[in-house]
Amino acid sequence: MMTKKFPKEELGFFPTPVVKLSRLSEYLGGPEIFMKRDDMTGLALGGNKTRKLEYILGDAVAQGCDSVITAGAAQSNHCRQTAAAAASLNMECHLVLGGEEPVEAKGNLLLDQIFGSHLHWAGQNRKGEDIPQIYKQLKKSGKKPYVVPYGGSNELGALSFVAAVEELESQIKDEQFTHIVFASSSGGTHAGLMIGKKLYGKGFKLIGINIDKGETDEIPFDHYIIELANKTSNMLGLKYEFTQEALTLNSDYVGQGYGVVGKLEQEAISLTARTEGILLDPVYTGRAMGGLIDMIRTGIINKNDKVLFWHTGGAPAVFAYSDKLHLMPQI
Ligand SMILES: *Cc1c(COP(=O)(O)O)cnc(C)c1O
């Protein structure tokens, strides 16, 4: 596989399992639903950022860097996995977090602290606007810092999801999915899956469920994904030219915006927990599963389809949203 020539640090356990969600399918009277369990990558309670970090920090190690800087929301799963990965690679980790420091550290934030990362509170700047300033400070103090982009979504991050499609192919062999549904938020997962689909000639429809309203994005998110897919295929020596037609980004479920939990997420989390014993998270996978359930109920995805839901992780955030999740409707 063409991803082999890129340096990589092993940070998780792969392949992640693929399981069938028979009871959830039955409850919905819907299609067969399978799940790719990237919540089980193993690194610091798992998630899709483990894949990206294997290549991104592989590059950092190859360059001889001794510290990493990245950014995210206070409950960023990306920051939590970066903090753990950095610890395991003996690198100092600096996290630039949006918002103000809360009175009590819960969920991912608590884990960031346990893994020994240095926290920088950035107010409104939750997408890494303050990274250059911290980079300069570290340089000045004699460090060799490496910047991991917001969400780990650069070419190396996306590359890991091209490899993930190859991994999936090797696991499922005769299953032909009609749809792959997943949470899309910084674009690396989406761009990588797009390339993987093309590279392996797969017929499934890729439906990214948009998680963020993107009001503050400099580049519209759909453009960003296409651009990243094209840059990544270029890096891989594939001459793919993706256009907007190749992209399905469903923004129907962003609700009140990033990290605001509503009925959609609550129902998806309780249904998946109570039919399958599987935990989703309030910010990403709960919303994406809520989208899938709605698409099944409204007939966009029908009984004869065969769906793979890509579980991208996020479990620690459950503990930071206890006020929204403690009383859920019985099913
Ligand atoms: C980061 C993240 C996503 C989104 O992946 P992107 O590659 O950033 O689009 C989805 N789910 C979880 C749990 C995440 O942490």
**Dihedral (CA of 268, 35, 11, 249) sign:** negative
What does the alpha-carbon distance between residue 167 and residue 73 come to, in Å, rounded to a whole number? 30
Identify the residue whose tokens are 């590059």: 59
Q: Report the run of H or E that residue 208 belongs to, with start and end.
A: strand 205-210
Q: Is 82 in the pocket of ligand 1 (CB under 6 A)?
A: no
Here the tokens at position 85 are 């990965």
Listed in order, strand segments (DSSP E) in 224-292 are 249-250
> Within this chain, do residues 66 and 190 fall inside the same structural domain, yes or no?
no
Domain boundary (129, 152, 175) is at 152
Here the tokens at position 170 are 């090797």
> Within this chain, do residues 202 and 318 fall inside the same structural domain, yes or no?
yes
Q: Is 285 in the pocket of ligand 1 (CB under 6 A)?
A: yes
Model confidence band, residue 331 (pLDDT cutoffs 50, 70, 90): low
Model confidence band, residue 227 (pLDDT cutoffs 50, 70, 90): very high
Contact 131, 69 (CB under 8 A): yes
Q: Best mutation site among 312, 318, 321 for ligand 1, i.e. most ligand atoms within 8 A of its Cβ? A: 312
Q: 270, 280, 308, 258: which is closest to 126 by C-alpha?
A: 258
Here the tokens at position 50 are 């483990």
> Within this chain, do residues 169 and 279 fall inside the same structural domain, yes or no?
yes
> Within this chain, do residues 102 and 241 fall inside the same structural domain, yes or no?
no
> Letter for the amino acid at 186?
S
Residue 170's domain spans which residues?
2-47+153-325
pLDDT score at 217:
83
What is the pLDDT of the chain when averaged over all its residues? Answer: 96
Tell which atom from ligand 1 comes closest to the C-alpha of 188: 7
Q: Kindly report the backbone phi and psi dihedral angles of residue 80, in degrees, each rounded to the nearest multiple of 5, phi listed first.
A: -60, -45
Residue 125 belongs to domain with CATH number: 3.40.50.1100
pLDDT at 31 over 70: yes
Here the tokens at position 109 are 């934030």
Tell which atom from ligand 1 comes closest to the C-alpha of 186: 8
Domain boundary (106, 127, 152) is at 152
- Rounded mean pLDDT, 164-187: 94
Q: Is 72 in the pocket of ligand 1 (CB under 6 A)?
A: no
Model confidence band, residue 126 (pLDDT cutoffs 50, 70, 90): confident
Q: Is 214 in the pocket of ligand 1 (CB under 6 A)?
A: no
Tell which atom from ligand 1 comes closest to the C-alpha of 77: 15
Q: Is 117 in the pocket of ligand 1 (CB under 6 A)?
A: no
> Within this chain, do residues 167 and 135 fall inside the same structural domain, yes or no?
no
What are the residue numbers of the active site?
A: 76
For atom 12 of ligand 1, which residue has the closest CA? Answer: 312
What does the alpha-carbon distance between residue 270 and residue 292 come to, in Å, rounded to a whole number? 14
Report pTM: 0.97
Domain boundary (152, 184, 202) is at 152
> Within this chain, do residues 101 and 235 fall inside the same structural domain, yes or no?
no
Q: How many domains does the chain have?
A: 2
> Within this chain, do residues 107 and 35 fall inside the same structural domain, yes or no?
no
Centre of ligand 1 to C-alpha 150, Å, is 11
Centre of ligand 1 to C-alpha 315, Å, is 12
Centre of ligand 1 to C-alpha 327, Å, is 26
What does the alpha-carbon distance between residue 241 and residue 194 come to, in Å, rounded to a whole number? 11
Give tens-digit pLDDT for 192-210.
999 999 999 999 999 999 9
Reduced to 3 states, what is the DSSP secondary structure of residue 258?
coil
pLDDT score at 329:
66
